[in-house]
Amino acid sequence: MKEDHGNLMFQWLLPFAIAVIVVLIMFFNFSLKIKKEAVETVEDKFEEVAEKYALKVNGDLQGICLVGETSAQVISQRSPSNEGIIQLLLESIAESTEVCEAIYCDKDGNAIDHQGNRVDFEGNNYIEKLEKDPDLNYLFEKEEAITGAASIIIGVPVEETEGYLLLFYPLKRLKSITEMSGEFNDSAFLSIINVEGDIFQAEDRASSFLKGSNIWANVDKEYQNDTSKARVRMQNNKTGSFITMAGEEIRTLVYTPIGVEDWVLLIGIDQSYVEFRQEAIFSKSIRRLYQLLGVTFLFVALIAAVNYVGKIRNAERNKTLQEKADTDLLTGLNNKLATERKIKEYMAQNQDKLGMLFVIDIDNFKKINDTMGHAFGDEVLRSLGKQIGVNFRVTDIIGRVGGDEFMVFLKDLQKDEIVLREAKKLEYFFKHFEVGEYVKYSATASIGAAVFPADGNDFESLYKSADQAVYKAKKRGKNQVAFFDDRDRK
């Protein structure tokens, strides 16, 4: 009894030890996953901030463009040559939007501003640039002569007069709406660039990335490959981020399209701040995981102790009863009742899964008993019971259901090709099955095969199909497998 108790304890301790190892492995993998999720969470947060500012810029510019388009339609439809009305429209644009100047220029180069003053465009090629590229609606000028300040010029065509409305949007307005209010603890800069890296606007912040007029020219050579990949994504109007370096600075650059030309809003965040935010999220999640792990281990230990005590009291009785109820004493396989019960249970719980039933009938078994004696006949059955199991999985159901009749049910077959393969494997087994210690006797079998659920969706109908297949095998000369649906001959 003590030995049995020791075995029972071992049976509990071994799974518990395995469970601990599995949990530790899961913990390690989960910690890696948490780390990855922390990185993704921080990146997503940064991208949300970038998209927020990009939306502000886009809203400003698109709003001005919409007002300009409406005014251009009014000029085209009602007053293409009435300078008084045109001036009122220009004045309305200047008052209702954030532009610092609104100018109308006709096809002959005559231009007036929102105050009604004549404007000399000599030396300025804004109209030429807009006419040269019909898809171009925005121009960037660092030193704009008319307004005397860096501006974005929004060009709106007036179709009836073949002229243009030129709306001058000051960059100082852009700086005001993109001024970051402490989102990154002063560890980041914000800039507006085009895909080629030309800097349109940047905060007054010292950074190696913002030196000169092109941000990509400042990136160290070893990071140029990642930069090129990011530029491709920018060209495809994608939002994202990547780590790069300029001079002694390592930053995560977060980019998002503004929705105007190929302009991109870029936030450069100091890498130490990025890692600080990632570590904060990771540490918080890990602490919770430790707490959960501790509670889980305590709970499992208590459950294991309670079950161990219960198992000691019931192990011997249950073992004896189970063995008597389910085992065929001669072969050591499932008996008829256990075999049928287990197959029925599987069918009830797995009605949509593929399975297969073999009914095996030993050929000429009566002749074996009559000529070689019943003892040798029992040895045939006993040897078959020992050897047949190696051909199948431990989860498959194998049993002796009659004097010389056996049944094998294969569970959870993945595809139809496996059905034929398993049948050939069983057929090969019986073609090489021998019994006898000194004189070898080859015992063959006629085997009927039926597929679940195609040939029967309950035990009775499936068994009937497999039994009919046995008679097919006998009529064909015995020592072979026959399918109920003859799929092996199709």
Which residues are part of the catalytic machinery? Answer: 404
**Which CA distances in Å does 485 have to 361, 420, 462, 468, 482?**
19, 12, 12, 10, 9
Buried b (16+ CB within 10 A) or exposed e, 251-289: bbbbbbbbebbebbbbbbbbbebbeebbeebbeebbeee
Instruction: Name residue 442's amino acid.
Output: S
What's the burial of 190, exposed, middle or buried (CB within 10 Å: 0-12/13-18/19+)?
Answer: buried
Give backbone dihedrals phi and psi of 457, rounded to 5 degrees, phi first. Answer: -100, 10
- Give the residue carrying structure tokens 């073609």: 431
The Cα 278–Cα 7 span in angstroms is 48
**Could you tell me how far CA 301 lies from the centroid of its own chain?**
35
Closest CA to 147 of 127, 168, 163: 168
Containing H/E element for 360? strand 354-362
Helix (H, G, I), strand (E, B) or coil at 362: strand
The two three-digit tokens of residue 315, written as one number: 């192990």
Give the torsion through C-alpha atoms of 391, 395, 401, 404, to 10 deg: 10
The two three-digit tokens of residue 145, written as one number: 């002569």
What's the burial of 205, exposed, middle or buried (CB within 10 Å: 0-12/13-18/19+)?
Answer: middle
The Cα 348–Cα 351 span in angstroms is 6
**Which CA distances in Å does 76 have to 129, 158, 226?**
22, 6, 49
